């Protein structure tokens, strides 16, 4: 079982000609809403890839909360243990998407901040049952740390995506099995410019924090896998015409871990994940744009 502990947002997608610069006002070309949140997105991606996925998180007792849970249910995520609260509304993410398919995101945490260490302790049994635990940083850092401690207690493999990186704390790196970062996150964690970081630098970071492996996504240049005391391996991206890159990294992560949970080797797992994210960026939206297992396998063939 794959346990995802994280955020559940209603995404407010704002189409713009170009992303606003500091102090600049731009006009929206259109606004739509769709279910999102890094935790929920990664859960949906893993479930659509065929994974047995359970999610822990929180939504408001509001219309948005109804829609968020319905989306997770529709795509095969077990939502039985997700909390609903009347104290705050469901979280929202405001996503500016430019004509060249780039984006920036501002998140109103609201219900996500109700995912407390105490709430996780109430569901400790799920950690006993899990094989993988996927974590991000759109919930309180104390809760991420608690999830890591419970995972460690029961021998669960910890998959950590330190995003948004401005919420990162160094203690959260300890005992992570798989650290998954993009180029910006890798640069900040290593404190080395992206074009200067070496395989040796990643090896030193893994050794310093007892991390088993690092996966760095590189956009159109594919992804790179670093495993402690082994040579790094680069995997290609799938060629595609992207129209919306929102959720591409979440799709890659969820699909990758679903493959690992099935016992697939690195080559098969990365090929599947690359195809999944390659398909996702050719469609508008996030969770609805993520491909099913059958679609990915058909594309690979």
Task: Determine which one of 87, 177, 250, 265 is catalytic.
Answer: 250
Q: Is 250 a catalytic residue?
A: yes
Q: How many whole angstroms separate alpha carbon 203 and alpha carbon 232?
A: 10
| Residues contacting 127, CB < 8 A, separation 6+ | 3, 133, 147, 150, 151, 153, 154, 156
Polymer length in residues for the chain: 301
Helix runs in 159-224, H state only:
183-190, 199-209
Q: Which token pair is 194?
A: 């992206």
Cis preceding-peptide flag for 64 (omega within 30 of 0): no
HEC string for 235-267: ECCCCCCCCCCCCHHHHHHHHHHHHHHCCCCHH
Give the 3-state secondary structure percentages of the chain, helix then strand then coil, rounded to 5. Answer: 40, 20, 40
Give the H/E segment covering residue 55.
strand 53-56
CB 6 within 8 A of CB 40: yes
CA-to-CA distance for 298 and 301, rounded, in angstroms? 5
Q: Packing angle between helix 266-280 and helix 248-261, nearest 10 degrees? A: 150
Active-site residue list: 250
């Amino acid at each position: 079982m794959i346990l995802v502990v994280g955020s559940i947002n209603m995404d407010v997608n704002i189409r713009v000609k170009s992303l606003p610069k500091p102090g600049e006002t731009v006009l929206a070309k259109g606004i739509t809403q769709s279910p999102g949140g890094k935790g929920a997105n990664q859960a949906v991606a893993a479930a659509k890839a065929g994974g047995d996925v359970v999610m822990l998180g929180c939504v408001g007792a509001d219309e948005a909360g109804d829609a968020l849970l319905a989306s997770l249910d529709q795509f095969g995520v077990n939502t039985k243990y997700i909390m609903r609260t009347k104290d705050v509304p469901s979280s929202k993410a405001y996503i500016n998407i430019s004509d060249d398919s780039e984006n920036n995101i501002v998140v109103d945490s609201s219900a996500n901040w109700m995912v407390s260490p105490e709430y996780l302790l109430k569901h400790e049994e799920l950690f006993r049952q899990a094989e993988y635990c996927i974590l991000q940083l759109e919930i309180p850092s104390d809760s991420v740390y608690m999830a890591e401690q419970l995972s460690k207690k029961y021998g669960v493999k910890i998959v950590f995506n330190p995003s948004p990186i401005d919420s990162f704390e160094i203690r959260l790196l300890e005992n992570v099995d798989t650290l998954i970062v993009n180029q910006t996150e890798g640069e900040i964690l290593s404190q080395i410019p992206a074009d200067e970081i070496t395989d040796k630098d990643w090896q030193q970071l893994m050794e310093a924090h007892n991390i088993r492996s690092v996966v760095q996504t590189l956009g159109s240049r594919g992804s790179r896998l670093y495993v402690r005391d082994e040579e790094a391996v680069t995997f290609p991206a799938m060629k595609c015409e992207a129209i919306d890159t929102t959720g591409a990294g979440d799709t890659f992560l969820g699909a990758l871990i679903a493959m690992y949970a099935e016992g697939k080797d690195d080559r098969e797992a990365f090929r599947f994940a690359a195809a999944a994210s390659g398909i996702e960026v050719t469609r508008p939206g996030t969770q609805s744009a993520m491909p099913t297992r059958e679609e990915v396998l058909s594309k690979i063939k």
